[in-house]
Amino acid sequence: EAQVTQNPRYLITVTGKKLTVTCSQNMNHEYMSWYRQDPGLGLRQIYYSMNVEVTDKGDVPEGYKVSRKEKRNFPLILESPSPNQTSLYFCASSLWPPGGNQPQHFGDGTRLSIL
Amino acid sequence: SQQGEEDPQALSIQEGENATMNCSYKTSINNLQWYRQNSGRGLVHLILIRSNEREKHSGRLRVTLDTSKKSSSLLITASRAADTASYFCATDETGANNLFFGTGTRLTVIP
């Protein structure tokens, strides 16, 4: 089954404790991205990747890191999480980058609470 | 960034009625997409309309695009309780490498 898989689905942690949210897709998609969703603000893009070893900042990259060492994986790293990073996070992928008229495929989301 | 803006923010209708949601945006686009999100879940792609298209249908969904007014509408006909969800438009802007999502319309269909 074609899918985008995120882990964990839920995480409660404390300020400053490094964490990684994994994202994997099995559709051989070139483009992957991370969004955060907050009430009243919709989805905002954190980082995106056009292909392996090619990543770039989205609208709200501060406090986050990403890597794209393999085509299928695109982990989101919070080196020193803070309470303002409490949010619902989504990973998404598409065959081509925006401009290629391709839909985005989303994971089920990761709800992070940082105390 | 130039997010799309959906209108209304919330909509409540009876089962069987039609639901119309609108999206406005500010820049030139390659395409506009509509997504659905059930509570707390990931977004699911519904339909994509290219900038040179004016109307598109998929099952009970009808999407229109007016690039001169920079607006789009999503019509769901003969709504069902299972259509209860949030609906988002996303603009694929010319020259950009990401999609810009609006804040969504929360649709409630009452059985």
* Distance, CA of B43 to CA of A108 (rounded, Å): 8
Tell me if A99 and B103 make a contact (CB, 8 A cut-off): no
Over residues B84-107, the pLDDT tens digits come to 999 999 998 888 888 899 889 999
Q: Which of B41, B94, B101 sits opposite A43 (nearest CB)?
A: B101
* Among B residues 48-67, those touching chain A with beta carbons less than 8 Å apart: 48, 50
For chain A, the straight-line distance linking the first and the last C-alpha, in angstroms and rounded, comes to: 36
* Distance, CA of B92 to CA of A101 (rounded, Å): 8
Q: What is the pLDDT of residue B3?
A: 65
Over residues B70-83, the pLDDT tens digits come to 999 999 999 999 99
Contacts of B36 (CB under 8 A, 6+ apart): B43, B44, B46, B85, B86, B87, B88
H/E element, B23 = strand B19-24
